[in-house]
Amino acid sequence: MVANRINSDYAGKEVVFIAVLNGSFMFASDLFKRITLDCEISFVKVSSYKGSTASSGRVDELIGLNTNIEGKNVIILEDIVDTGITIDKIFTLLRAHQPTSVQIATLLYKPDAFKGKNAPHYVGFLIPNFFVVGFGLDYNERGRNLDAIYKLKGDVPTQNTMLNLVLFGPPGAGKGTQSERLIEKYGLVHLSTGDIFRANIKGETELGKLAKSYMDKGSLVPDEVTINMLRSEVMKYENPKGFIFDGFPRTTAQAVALDEFLNSLQTSITLMLALDVEENELRERLMKRAESSGRPDDADPAIIQNRINVYKNETAPVKEFYEAQQKFVSINGIGSIDEISDRLYQAIDELK
């Protein structure tokens, strides 16, 4: 029993329980009745700061944390831990307050779905990767009041079979050509953040006006605005086979935001595929492309080097993010178009 273990592990110690709303309220209530320690409890929600920052334009905060946890033992209470993305963020935010220790207690844990760094220490029940409701858990905010836990009808796991790819490649790697081939072979939808931004700004949508207000001031468009544009675009497609994300994510914060968004649709990124081409080869390709394209930036060595450097700086942290999830695959980008395509197909088909 979770309460008995906590009582034993923290005997004689002061504990602060942090219950994450909305889902954990029933679990927290039942658990707290059985805790015999000197303790207190706070109920918090995770929120996104609406302003902008120099790094990503998105700062997560805990609303409702009114208790001083410095030097104290903290136990996070969750209704369910699946991917672990939210828990990792909460963990980081709490660590900034310098508690003595932080552990996680959850009613339900889905080990098959877990991708995070901080696995729960106290677990009520291990469950398969299915969608469940009741006892605080919801489906579109319904079902929290049920006094038992139910799996939604059907044996469909929460993560569906969509193929979602993040395709990266330095300028001259042939990303555009390979992207078109992947779209055709697997029936995917191409989502370019550049195209989406231009369409929203030209169409003078509310999101487009908001994005333009930041751009006109020379500021970065907050990740939240970009994600909302992506969400709006994704929701236009009924039962898509999957998406190729082009130009996003470019930072770890964006990758986390994309994971959260896709998780809300019961899907996730399948692979990050990166075309690997040596710099000398890239320079030669771009110089040759300049002869036929008429693009002066393809012929200027300084501009070429800057574009390569920008690519490296942008992709490094995102690569590490997907490597931690075992979703990063480097593809040899040297060879004929068909050879490179075959390598991409093989990396994807090996997952089936």
Active site residues: 175, 250, 289, 295, 307
**2, two tokens:** 């979770």
CB atoms within 10 A of CB 36: 11
- The three-state (H, E, C) secondary structure of 252-272, written as one string: HHHHHHHHHHHHHCCCCCCEE
Q: If we measure between CA atoms, which residue out of 119, 54, 41, 46 comes closest to residue 89? A: 46
CB 155 within 8 A of CB 163: no
Of the candidates 86, 112, 9, which has an alpha carbon nearest to the alpha carbon of residue 263? 86
- The rounded distance, in Å, linking the Cα atoms of 154 and 343 is 36
DSSP one-letter code for 238: S
Q: Which of 188, 328, 317, 186 is nearest to 253 (CA)?
A: 317
Nearest to 247 by CA among 309, 283, 195: 195
Contact 63, 47 (CB under 8 A): yes
Measured distance CA(308)–CA(324) in Å, rounded: 24
